[in-house]
Structure 1
Amino acid sequence: MVKRILVLDDNQDILAIVHETLTYENFEVKSTGESAEVMPLIEEFNPDLVILDYRVAGTNGGELCRKIKLHPQYCNVPVIIFSAYINHEADLLAYGCDAIINKPFDLTELVEKVNNLINN
């Protein structure tokens, strides 16, 4: 069965690269640049993994991660947070994410982390 991944990033270039890379790796991918669309998309798409950019307009990726982890139906869905703010790793982990990927990132690292979280 094909695994589903939801990606949030307000940088369209990053969103396109991540979407293309994960699709190439045989995942079904939905992407959005709007934080307000994340929870409705989770309910509609029922992803096996969520990737959130930390710095987005509206609700940041950390708060979205916390919402997902507190939701009774989606609390076990692994969440990866993208962040360019490496010094704040402890703060990001406090939101309950399962992994952090520092920007700029290597696509190999992204695929490895996704595979490790999604296949456990």
Structure 2
Amino acid sequence: MLKKILVLDDNMDILEVVHEVLTYEHFEVNSTSDSKNIVTVAENYRPDLIILDYKLMDDNGGEICRRIKSHHQLHKTPVIIFSAYTNKTDFYSFGCDAVIAKPFDLTELIDTVNSCLQLSL
């Protein structure tokens, strides 16, 4: 069975690239730009990994990560935050498992995803 990944980013170009790359790497991917119901989407989709953009137009990926990590069903799900602002924020304080700096290398994305999935076994 394919590993399931939920991706949240409000930049449609990035969302499309990440979706295509992860699908090509044989993951089942659910991509969304809507942060308002992301916890409910995660509850229903039950991903093996969640990737969140940090700076969203209507929300904050760090705070979403905090909600996920305190959720009774989702707290063990690895979360990767990606952001262009990696030198300004301590992302690990939100409880994420990894951080990817934007712009990112696709090999780095795949390596980080695989590492987080291995650690969650």
TM-score interval (norm. to shorter): over 0.9
Structure 1 alignment gaps of length 5 or more? none
Q: What residue number does 2:7 align with?
A: 7
Whole-angstrom CA distance in 2 between matches of 1:31 and 1:69: 20
Q: Give the superposition deviation at 1:58.
A: 2.0
Alignment of 1:69-88 (within 5 A): 69-88=69-88
Asked whether the equivalents of residues 34 and 57 of structure 1 are also in contact (C-alpha less than 8 Å), the reply is no
Asked whether the equivalents of residues 4 and 47 of structure 1 are also in contact (C-alpha less than 8 Å), the reply is yes
1:109 is the counterpart of 2:111: no
Q: Give the superposition deviation at 1:41.
A: 1.0
Whole-angstrom CA distance in 1 between matches of 2:105 and 2:37: 26
Structure 2 alignment gaps of length 5 or more? none
Aligned length: 119
Whole-angstrom CA distance in 2 between matches of 1:17 and 1:105: 11
Asked whether the equivalents of residues 79 and 98 of structure 1 are also in contact (C-alpha less than 8 Å), the reply is yes
Q: Give the superposition deviation at 1:54.
A: 0.3
Q: Give the superposition deviation at 1:89.
A: 4.3
Runs of 4+ in 1 over 4 A off after TM superposition: none
What letter is aligned with 1:118? L
What TM-score results when the alignment is normalised by the length of structure 1? Answer: 0.95
Q: What residue number does 2:18 align with?
A: 18
Identical residues among aligned pairs (%): 56
Asked whether the equivalents of residues 43 and 73 of structure 2 are also in contact (C-alpha less than 8 Å), the reply is no
Q: For 1:87, what is the secondary structure of its paired residue?
A: coil
Q: Normalized per residue, which structure has more helix?
A: 1
What TM-score results when the alignment is normalised by the length of structure 2? Answer: 0.95
Whole-angstrom CA distance in 1 between matches of 2:17 and 2:37: 20
What letter is aligned with 2:80? I
